Amino acid sequence: MSLRFAVPHARKLLIAHLLASLTAAGLAQAAPVAAKAAPLKSKQTMADLIKASSATDWRPLNPDNTLYMELEKGRVVIELAPDFAPNHAQNIKALVREGYFDGLAIVRSQENYVAQWADPDEKREIKTAKRKLDGEFTVKYASSLPFTRLPDVDGFAPQVGHANGFPAGRDPKAGTAWLTHCYASVGVARGTESNSGDGTSLYVVTGHAPRQLDRNITVVGRVMQGMELLTTLPRGKGNLGFYEKAEERTPIKSIKIAADVPEAERSKLEIIRTDTATFKSIVEAQRNRGGDWYKVPAGYIDLCNVPVPVRAQK
């Protein structure tokens, strides 16, 4: 398969060139010849912009807010967003520090929806963390919360954009903001009552963004590396994709906070700073593609399609 475009190494980049290798020989089909649209201008791609970026366009993940979920097949790196869910972030860290998650399991993998982890036996004691928390479905946002607004309309929120790397919605009239349910968003599973989610069971969005969940459940962070460890899990055959048999559940060896892990064992990652000109250019490069493969630029991008590149620290 001939590949005609270099691909940057950052995993989170979406490259939209689909190539097929074809011989030039063969009969052209007799068909009306459509008027050819003018080719799109060549312009900097996201890969070009990343290559040209400066060190200050990136920030390291915050080790105090970064979780490492260790699975047999590798590590899932999650960064928490205390700006949006301070109490849940705090409680999850408390649960992590008391070893709550160690030895638990992935209990659910539902096609085009979520993977979820929890105590499958529902019997593990909580020692110091809280068992009940009021939902943090939205937060009142301070004017100091950095928010880089997307230029485009969004049907689920009055405004959308990025805050410190996290995709978010905002309602200026209500003064509230919330993290949106994009691919890789991590949320706090709950029952019917708004205060029934405490962080003992978390889920991650693995398919098309289920934005109808926004403002209905606490979103607490984002998977920054290791998504494929979760998206490729066999689907559970029970209701809602829950696994029915213990042997189907992928064990969680441990979850640790990066700051508690010896520095040599940390995943040294950095994420683009979404309040930079580089990021705005990346958004625009994705909104309006140039070059010779695309024929029609979209002139629009939806929040959950905006790539927020993560890479190994330079």
Label residue 180 exposed, middle or buried (CB < 10 Å: 0-12, 13-18, 19+): buried
Tokens of 135: 């939902």
Residue 65 C-beta: closest distance to its own copies, Å: 20
195 binds its own copies (CB under 8 A): yes
248 binds its own copies (CB under 8 A): no
Consecutive H or E run containing 280:
helix 277-287
CA atoms of 294 and 2, how far apart (whole Å): 18
161 binds its own copies (CB under 8 A): no
Among 87, 159, 254, 276, binds its own copies (CB under 8 A): 87
Instruction: Give the nearer residue to its own copies in terms of CB position, either 211 or 222.
Output: 211
Q: How many chain residues interact with its own copies (CB under 8 A)? A: 98
CA atoms of 114 and 208, how far apart (whole Å): 10
CA 9 from centre of chain: 17
User: Would you give the end-to-end CA distance of the chain in angstroms?
Assistant: 31
Instruction: Give the nearer residue to its own copies in terms of CB position, either 231 or 276.
Output: 231
Instruction: Give the nearer residue to its own copies in terms of CB position, either 147 or 242.
Output: 242
Amino acid letter, 218: T
CB count in 10 Å sphere of residue 24: 4
Residue among 99, 43, 124 nearest 294 (CA): 43
Q: What angle do CA 137, 138, 142 make, to 5 degrees?
A: 155
Instruction: Give the nearer residue to its own copies in terms of CB position, either 36 or 55.
Output: 36
Among 198, 258, 273, 283, binds its own copies (CB under 8 A): 198
Residue 56 C-beta: closest distance to its own copies, Å: 28
Cβ pair 10, 58 in contact under 8 A: no
Instruction: Give the nearer residue to its own copies in terms of CB position, either 48 or 152.
Output: 152
Instruction: Give the nearer residue to its own copies in terms of CB position, either 275 or 302.
Output: 302
Residue among 146, 147, 218, 208 nearest 182 (CA): 208
Which parts of 136-155 interact with its own copies (CB under 8 A)? Answer: 137, 152-153, 155
Which parts of 4-23 interact with its own copies (CB under 8 A)? Answer: 4, 6-7, 11, 14-23
Do β-strands 66-71 and 252-257 pair in parallel, antiparallel, or remain unpaired?
antiparallel
214 binds its own copies (CB under 8 A): yes
31 binds its own copies (CB under 8 A): yes
Which one of 59-67, 161-169, 186-194, 277-285 is the stretch in contact with its own copies (CB under 8 A)?
Answer: 186-194
Among 62, 159, 231, 276, binds its own copies (CB under 8 A): 231
* Burial per residue of 92-101, b for 16 or more beta-carbon CB atoms within 10 angstroms, e otherwise: bbbbbeeebb
Among 51, 127, 149, 208, binds its own copies (CB under 8 A): 208
Which parts of 280-309 interact with its own copies (CB under 8 A)? Answer: 286, 289, 292-296, 298, 300-302, 304-305
Instruction: Give the nearer residue to its own copies in terms of CB position, either 187 or 309.
Output: 187
Which parts of 106-135 interact with its own copies (CB under 8 A)? Answer: 107-108, 110-114, 116, 118, 120, 122, 126, 130-134
